[in-house]
Amino acid sequence: MRRVDDVTILDVGGRLVLGEATESLGNVLQESIGKGARKILLNMQWVTQVDTTGISTIVRAFVGLQRAGGKLGLFRVSERVRQILDLTRLLNVIPSFADEGEALSKVG
């Protein structure tokens, strides 16, 4: 986890499927929101797979931030993961950006 001005950036990797990695991401997201983070970006560059549990974790954080007046965005989403997020129409709701600079300019 790192910060750029008032934006929290989480570098996410591996498989966001039912299990420890997804649970850990959910805990970090909820802790960040609980501590007052209102702008969070997920660097999805190293995510190789996502299932409904991973999607649910991202959606919960998105909804929690929206309710708190915040924003969540994704960037560097791999083609494989993008296809899954497109199928679930998640990318119609959660903003996705090509790279960190673009994400920071739009969310920050």
Distance of CA 107 to the CA centre of its chain: 12
Range 2-76 has CATH code 3.30.230.10? no
Which residues on adjacent β-strands are paired with residue 7? 4
Find out whether 75 and 99 touch, Cβ atoms under 8 Å.
Answer: yes
Q: Mean pLDDT across the stretch 8-36?
A: 96
Determine the pLDDT at residue 53. Answer: 96
Determine the pLDDT at residue 87. Answer: 95
Indicate the length of the chain as a whole number: 108
pLDDT tops 90 at residue 65: yes
Q: What is the pLDDT of residues 78-96, one digit of tens each?
A: 999 999 999 999 999 999 9
Match 């929290």 to its residue by tokens: 8
* Strand spans (E) along 1-108: 2-4, 7-16, 39-50, 71-75, 96-97
Q: In what order do the strands lie in the sheet with 2-4?
A: 2-4, 7-16, 39-50, 71-75, 96-97
Determine the pLDDT at residue 1. Answer: 92
The domain spans of the chain are: 2-76
Determine the pLDDT at residue 108. Answer: 79
Determine the pLDDT at residue 84. Answer: 95
Determine the pLDDT at residue 103. Answer: 98
